[in-house]
């Protein structure tokens, strides 16, 4: 299978804390409360339901994917690896979630991931508190 890459641009928000121990999320929503401690980016260009069928099909077969979280303006990068499952529906209209656990719902992109929000560098998290910061969420299979 040829390598497939899909990139989603999201923005920072003053309430980004990235303290969640088991999940990481980007959302199309414009606002973020302090309770959203897994959310690292808002105003995402796409939700999980809008991803390419190639990516969805690969993950539904239990395939492995790599997520790169890039802050191009600052030269920062984090990588996360995880797997898919045949139980995934990819049907949520606003969110994309990466999970360390095996929990699956319509927002879940990857399970058994090797990182969650709390595992991101604090330098990156501080920059994600600014609405002017652009985040590139790259999915690679």
Q: Label each residue of the chain as H, E or C.
A: CCCCEEEEEEECCCCCCCCCCCEEEEECCCCCCCCCCCEEEECCCCCHHHCCHHHHHHHHCCCEEEEEEEECCCCEEEEEEEECCCCCCCCCCCEEEEECCCCCCCCEEEECCCCCHHHCCHHHHHHCCCCCCEEEEEEEC
Domains of the chain are 5-140 (2.60.120.630)
pLDDT per position as a tens digit, 69-116: 999 999 999 999 999 999 999 999 999 999 999 999 999 999 999 999
Stated pTM of the model: 0.96
pLDDT per position as a tens digit, 18-65: 999 999 999 999 999 989 999 999 999 999 999 999 999 999 999 999
């Amino acid at each position: 299978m040829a390598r497939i890459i899909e990139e989603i641009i999201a923005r920072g928000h003053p309430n980004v804390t990235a303290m969640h121990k088991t999940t990481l999320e980007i959302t199309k929503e414009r606002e973020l409360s302090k309770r959203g401690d897994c959310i690292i980016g808002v105003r995402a260009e796409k939700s999980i339901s809008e991803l390419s069928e190639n990516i969805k099909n690969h993950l539904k077969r239990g395939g492995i994917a790599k997520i790169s979280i890039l802050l191009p303006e600052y030269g920062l990068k984090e990588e996360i690896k995880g797997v898919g499952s045949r139980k995934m529906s990819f049907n949520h209209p606003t969110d994309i979630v990466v999970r360390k656990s095996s929990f699956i719902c319509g927002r879940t992109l990857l399970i058994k991931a090797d990182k969650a929000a709390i595992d991101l560098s604090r330098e990156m998290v501080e920059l994600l508190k600014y609405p002017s910061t652009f985040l590139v969420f790259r999915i690679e299979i």
